[in-house]
Structure 1
């Protein structure tokens, strides 16, 4: 059976990547590898950045395993706003089956130059790897119907303008460089 990964991209509602025996349809040109932001204002400004790729497959999210180089995750309240409490996972980064786990977690990634997150299909072994530089957090979300998994690299946690976790302020003419790559292994 083929896996279908749907990725949102600029200037289009969706771009589709079909992983099968003979086809790999992926126009990498629409997904920026490097992001460079230059602030053009005259005073400092708060900024935050995140990507929101959703990976969809015929199987439910339950057949996947996830590996994140992370230090913990932020607890959220009933309105999905982080409470400020950080659950320490003691740097756990082993490959873990998702199974029926409900996920809407903002993980704190391990400190380092380039961070990698892997999603592996336990039925056919297909793998998605996200590498980031400059994104210290990864929001992982599985919707109630469990037909996809979002792996969302971000520079701050949700509600950062209020909680200040991961907040960054750019000065006039300051350049901010970020990197984000997706690698598919069929």
Structure 2
């Protein structure tokens, strides 16, 4: 996370908006196998068009062995989304079918999410149970997966601010079926985090276990996915 990315292109136009493309490659950057055991080339294109922020990521396995991997983003938005109301009244909704717990210490506990329960039903922050309490405040952290039969889209998350008539929406390509919801203690912000897999997926796979979504690239294979973040007025 401390390595610099190389800027390989940038520009702006009425059709594409403003954009910048960056890249990091393990061989060019002399990344040691101790830091990451598989050679790869990773590019990230960030664009802004009509108030919609989009991140496109492409990963290529440049080695001669199969490479497991996971990608996650951590976009934060302030709560509330405007001058009225307060953070606790903001609601969170995630289109998920499973909730994952205890995945740091396998085996994970996976439970289905019914249509009438959170996060498929919006719930105010004040009613979402914290996982940690500190002098600075409470922290909330919950992990979900959308397992759809059609595979047409990934996870979708909404932060709804009825006092200001606004919502922040995170939309993902099918390559991002997982989403982590997090609020840090003492900071009025929330994160709806797109993930390609459940965190710690490397240690969660195995016979008889639920699929955490770990992606494995063959030598020379390329993977790509995207997510968007935008604000919209509530209807």
Partner of 2:62: 40
Deviation at 1:107, TM superposition (A): 0.6
Establish whether residue 131 from structure 1 lines up as the match of residue 159 from structure 2: no
More strand by share: 1
TM-score, normalised with respect to structure 2: 0.60
Q: Is the 8 A contact 2:66 2:217 kept in 1?
A: yes
CA distance in 2 between partners of 1:86 and 1:40 (Å): 34
Residue 51 in structure 1 maps to residue 67 in structure 2: no
* 1:167 equivalenced with 2:214 (yes/no): yes
Q: Which consecutive residues of structure 1, in runs of 5 or more, have no partner in the other structure?
A: 1-9, 12-26
CA distance in structure 1 between the partners assigned to 2:158 and 2:124 by the alignment: 12
Is it true that 1:152 corresponds to 2:175 in the alignment? no
**TM-score, reference length from structure 1:** 0.74
Greater relative CO (CA pairs within 8 A, separation 6+): 1
Q: Tell me, yes or no, if structure 1 residue 73 matches structure 2 residue 120.
A: no
Asked if the contact 2:79/2:90 (under 8 Å) is kept, the reply is no
Of structures 1 and 2, the larger Rg is shown by 2
What residue in structure 1 maps to residue 123 of structure 2?
96
What is the match of residue 16 of structure 1? none
- Give 1:51 shift: 0.4
Q: Deviations along 1:77-101, whole A, 9 cap, x unmatched?
A: 7xx6565101222245233323242
Using a 3 Å threshold, how does the CA distance of structure 1 residues 122 and 167 change in structure 2: closer, same or farther?
same
RMSD: 2.5
Q: For each residue in 1:27-53, what CA deviation from the matched residue of structure 2 results, as whole angstroms up to 9, or x when unmatched?
A: 963535322211111111111001011
Unmatched tracts of structure 2, length 5 or more: 6-16, 21-45, 47-53, 131-139, 206-211
- With over 3 angstroms needed to count, the CA separation of the structure-2 counterparts of 1:56 and 1:169, relative to structure 1, is same
Provide the aligned length of Structure 1 versus Structure 2: 160
